Amino acid sequence: MDWNNINTDRDTSGLGPIEYDQSRVPNLIRKYADDVRTKTYGQEVREAQARNAEYAGLIASEANSKATIIEHKTHHRLAIVEISISISIIRIEFSDTLNSLELIS
């Protein structure tokens, strides 16, 4: 897009159909989206867009925090499984050693 000549580089095609389930949009985001669609003054539209962006950022931050917690729990569980496997291997090797000693004696 040529930002110096924005009036001649317009995409006049329609947006097309909505590609998501609008009923799943959180109420607060829905309110701000409706404000963007219906407000008359540019300042109000910009404020509604800013609030949407901020709220989306909060949702993304919360999701990231939850993902980090799940990642830590997964690593912890994996460490426990690895320790359990190591203990099982040691028991098997020790048992094999005892059996070998019994055969020798």
Read off the tokens for 7.
């009036």
Residues 3-21: tens digit of each pLDDT: 666 666 677 778 788 888 8
Helical packing angle, 27-38 and 42-104, nearest 10°: 150
Tally: H helices and E strands in the chain? 2, 0
Confidence bin at 25 (pLDDT 50/70/90): confident
The verdict on residue 7 lying in a domain is no
The verdict on residue 3 lying in a domain is no
Nearest residue to 45 (alpha-carbon basis) of 56, 31, 60, 32: 32
Neighbours of 75 (CB within 10 A): 10
The verdict on residue 13 lying in a domain is no
Residues 28-82: tens digit of each pLDDT: 888 888 898 888 888 998 998 999 899 999 999 999 999 999 999 999 999 999 9
Q: Name the domain count of the chain.
A: 1
The verdict on residue 55 lying in a domain is yes
Q: Domain residues for 29?
A: 19-104
The verdict on residue 6 lying in a domain is no
> What pTM does this model have?
0.56
What pLDDT was estimated at residue 9?
A: 65
Query: Number of C-alpha atoms within 13 angstroms, CB side, residue 60?
Result: 6
